[in-house]
Amino acid sequence: MSCQDDKNQCISTSAGKPAYLNPDLPLDERVEDLVSRMTLEEKVSQTLNGAPGIERLGIPKYDWWNECLHGVGRAGIATVFPQAIGLAATWNDDLIFEVATAISDEARAKHHEFVRRGIREIYTGLTMWSPNVNIFRDPRWGRGQETYGEDPYLTSRVGVAFVKGLQGDDPQYFKVISTPKHFAVHSGPEADRHHFDAVVDEKDLWETYLPAFEAAVKEGNAQAIMGAYNRTNGEPCCGSKTLLQDILREKWGFDGHVVSDCWAIGDFYKHHKIVDTPVEAVAMALNNGCDLCCGSLYSFLVDAVKEGLVKEATLDGALKRLFKARFQLGMFDPPEMVSYAQIPYEVNDCEAHRELALKTARESMVLLKNDGILPLDKDIEKIAVIGPNSDNLEALLGNYNGIPSRFTTPLEAIKSKVSPKATVYHTDGCDIMGDSKRGFGAAVELASWADVAIVVMGITGRIEGEEGAGGDREEITLMGVQEDLLKAVHATGTPVILVLLSGSAVAINWAEENVPAILAAWYPGQDGGTAIADVLFGDYNPGGRLPVTFYKSLDQLPPFDDYRMGNRTYRYFKDEPLYPFGHGLSYTTFGYKDLRLAESTIQAGEDIQVQVTVENTGKCPGDEVVQLYLTDLEASVPVPLRSLQGFQRIYLAPGEKKTVSFTLTPYQMALVDYSGQRVVEPGKFLVAVGGKQPTGANGPDGEVLTAEFTVEGEKVTAEYVY
């Protein structure tokens, strides 16, 4: 008798146990066996993020929803690393791999501890709904802080490193499963996401919005993808045949599972008005490739199958992908077989991870301006620390965060950094939002008394964030009366240093013109205050770079709901920014020489090697971020002004030199035509290598060298290679 004849019967192996519990059998056979034993109602129950246990089959309850954007989130004490935008500001994908490895160690340790305690609720599982590889195309978007910035290449490199660090390198099991999100063409407005249609042409789609997802799937081997709330070109993303079937599964060969964003499938009939009923909505989602529903709406799949809107075989396909993931996480094998199950709980919030969080925070610091006032002398006698983010835990954490067991604010770190002879006084001066200037008097008095005023301002994850939790910003200037406070402190004549905490670009035009030094610190995590103080007082030489453009005003940008890339991000922006993408200063200087291309002429479809020599020409050691930009000078269609196609963060002692090498592949040289095809055309290309973009620099942050090469032959298509 087979399982199809009687779903309550078991097909047993010779060992006397069900085939799906035999770890010696092939994975597909085990999955097939398990799914074949389920009733229709049991199958449907397993397509919900809160999947109940099935006692007769020995399937434990499992909730698929977990978060680890910059540390294990929402599950108690965990190491809190800098927010994702700060991770990107390190421009160090090797470091991001270390961070993701530490996060996944903590996720594993927490999961097994929860299981030992009989807890199988939300935020306790091993399917992590991270990273967010959407493109941060507009600074108003509240969730931009969750991304790796505005550039497809930087996002791809950081995203791949994060996915690999999460999933581990065991040949049989995944440490956790990574779920890049939100697929695709998703970046606000938050208030409209449940009904909004993001309309893009094929060129923008493939040139900007899809590359990071393709890299995460093909190179990162991400085992899950989360859809977006919005429609893309008319199709709800969580039920889009174009995205989920044609591109993700067929074109890219993705064989993992797809999960909806939470309650997004209900939007199909409630807000998008694509279908009329919940039964039609779930049928559309499942038939087009969404395997798992965050929420409860997939309960209607029972009706959808019975009404003939969904074939049970289609449901079985989704179930097999879902249980394949659970098997690959070792959930049905003896723990002693799964190396990751042996990670001790003590790894959570351990000293090594705290040190890594501090290292990452230091590397994320971006020095936007310095007229020579930094670094400060630790023997300075009187210091005023002013501003609403100077002693604010929220400003360290961002969103989707864990809870640090200990943390250090900028105020605390500054107090511990200076000499015992120094006196540090503090006042907030004002709130982040609101019109009250009641604290201005105390702030001005402290600044007048002090030798230096360190003003810590910006925003927090409570103010910019997801719909219902901050949301988007209507303006990108400093909020409330913060700029007025900054002006009042500056008017005392005391030297002022501005420290900006935010998850996005802020238009600090007045500060750029008047304040001697400005440090962008993002949401720097649990020990962000220490990292800030280390930079201010010279114990760490900043080397971070901007992963986004800082615009002067919203007048420079198209409407927020316009998803066309014209005049957005450094690749298409033709105006002058406040600070350009890739910008960041140092306490030392770097020189570039001997830019060498292996060939001056190549055939279409060939790689080309690029080398440059970098020297620390200053007096202190430091990190330089070597950036390579490529421009197609003779393209047959409009192309980006320039595109980042290589970067390396290197450490150099004074006088030390290093040769840095890059390989440019056909995929990187290719343009995207109007049909969305990526092709390499014959013609001239410009390579620019330096510590910044070849134009739009703010300050002496490194020379840029350029060289040209020519591609000959017939145009060829270019596929993603790694």
Catalytic residues: 261, 464
Please give the sequence-ordered ranges of beta strands (E in DSSP) within 482-530, or none if there are none.
496-501, 517-520
Q: How far apart are CA 149 and CA 135, in angstroms?
A: 6
Answer for the pair 247, 210: CB distance below 8 angstroms, yes or no.
Answer: yes
User: Would you list the DSSP string of 418-440?
Assistant: S-TT-EEEEE--S-SSSS--TTH
Contacts of 642 (CB under 8 A, 6+ apart): 570, 571, 629, 630, 631, 686, 688, 693, 694
Is the distance from CB of 383 to CB of 425 less than 8 angstroms? yes
Angle between helices 211-218 and 152-167 (to 10 degrees): 30
Q: CA triplet 19, 23, 24: central angle to 5 degrees?
A: 90
Distance between CA 252 and CA 289 in Å, rounded? 14
With CA atoms as reference, report the closest residue to 287 among 264, 308, 272.
308
Sorted by sequence, the CB contacts under 8 Å of residue 246 that are 6+ apart come out as none
CB 225 within 8 A of CB 217: yes
Element (H, E) at 105: helix 93-116
**Omega into 189 within 30° of 0, i.e. cis?**
yes
- Cβ atoms of 173 and 339 within 8 Å: the answer is yes
604 and 713 in contact (C-beta within 8 Å)? yes
Q: Are 402 and 80 in contact (CB under 8 A)?
A: yes
Q: Which residue has the tokens 């913060």?
A: 482
The rounded distance, in Å, linking the Cα atoms of 6 and 4 is: 6
Among residues 289, 196, 193, the alpha carbon closest in space to that of 243 is found at 289
Q: Rounded CA gap, 720 and 722, in Å?
A: 7
| Among 614, 616, 424, 429, CA closest to 533 | 424
Q: How far apart are the first and last CA of the chain?
A: 48
Beta strands (DSSP E) in 96-217 are 127-128, 177-178, 197-198
**Region of 568 on the Ramachandran plot (φ > 0 left; ψ -120 to 50 alpha; else beta):** beta
Reported residue count of the chain is 722
- Neighbour count for residue 653 (Cβ, 10 Å): 10
Task: In whole angstroms, give the CA distance from residue 205 to residue 209.
Answer: 5
Within 13 A of 447's CA, how many CA atoms are on the CB side? 26
Classify burial at 337, counting beta carbons within 10 Å of its beta carbon; exposed 0-12, middle 13-18, buried 19 or more: exposed
Q: Give the contacts of 213 (CB within 8 A, at least 6 positions apart).
A: 133, 180, 183, 184, 225, 248
Q: Give CA torsion, residues 9, 15, 16, 17, to 10 deg.
A: -60
Contact in structure between 294 and 259 (CB atoms under 8 Å) = yes
Q: Hey, what amino acid is at 569?
A: T
